[in-house]
Amino acid sequence: MNDIPLKCRCGQVSGIATGLKQKNSNRAVCHCADCQAFARHLGGEALDHLGGTDLIQFSPARLSFSSGQDQVACLRLTDKGLFRWYARCCNTPIGNTMPTPALPFVGIIHSFFDLSDDEYVIIFGPVTGHVFTKAATGDPQEVSMLKKAGPGDWLKLVSLLLSWKMKGDSKRHAFFDSSTGKPIVTAHVLDNGQT
């Protein structure tokens, strides 16, 4: 149960998030400029009307690819930025990771879950918190009403991350080779927003 299907828009890249549920994950919406730049670079469809990226943070050990792994690509906005993963076959945003498996977490974007909007909410529950709302776009009044992530939300995330680290999930990271610790594909750095 709770094996959640993952798929890019065109269907070439697919995978499973094994045993993923609300209890072992965190649903957040990030409005930061970098997440927006990444989404816009891929066409912008993954953004909500306030410039938010809806994503589920969970252990990378739960994620595995079933097909199309050769279409998985990785970019960074700067040479120090997060690794931002996408399906190059159809520019579907997949998610983000740290640039190293040492901090084992993935933030998988709504667009890569093969779920209806209703199923997504039923499985993962409401948004825990919105982050970087200062960079949100759209109606300021609506932005001011967003539920911001509080200290308790950050604490939950840090304790989850520590538990994954203790379990050795750094070595079972879908986006990094377990023996070399290198990413499964080379990340390219966006230069002034151009590839």
Does 37 engage in binding with Zn ion (CB under 5 A)? no
Q: Does 72 bind Zn ion (CB under 5 A)?
A: no
Separation of CA 76 from chain center? 14
Which tokens is 73 given? 């690509």
The CA radius of gyration of the chain, in Å to the nearest whole number, is: 16
Of 4 and 35, CB closest to Zn ion: 35
CA distance readout (Å), 162 to 17, 82, 85, 154, 155:
19, 19, 23, 12, 11
- Classify burial at 85, counting beta carbons within 10 Å of its beta carbon; exposed 0-12, middle 13-18, buried 19 or more: buried
For residue 58, give Cα distances in angstroms to 92, 164, 185, 189: 19, 9, 21, 25
Q: Please state the closest distance from residue 12 (CB atom) to Zn ion, in A.
A: 4
DSSP state of 187: -
**8 is a site residue for Zn ion (CB under 5 A):** yes
From residue 86 to residue 125, the character string flagging contacts with Zn ion as x (rule: CB under 5 A) and all else as - is -x-xx-----------------------------------
CB of 13 to Zn ion, least distance (A): 5
Q: Is 12 in the site for Zn ion (CB under 5 A)?
A: yes
Residue where the block lists tokens 């070399």: 180
* Residue 146 binding Zn ion, by CB under 5 A: no
The least CB distance from residue 132 to Zn ion, in Å, is 6
User: Shortest distance, CB of residue 91 to Zn ion, whole angstroms?
Assistant: 8
Q: How far is the CB of 118 from Zn ion (least distance, A)?
A: 23
Q: Give the residues lining the site for Zn ion (CB under 5 A).
A: 8, 10, 12, 30, 32, 35, 87, 89-90
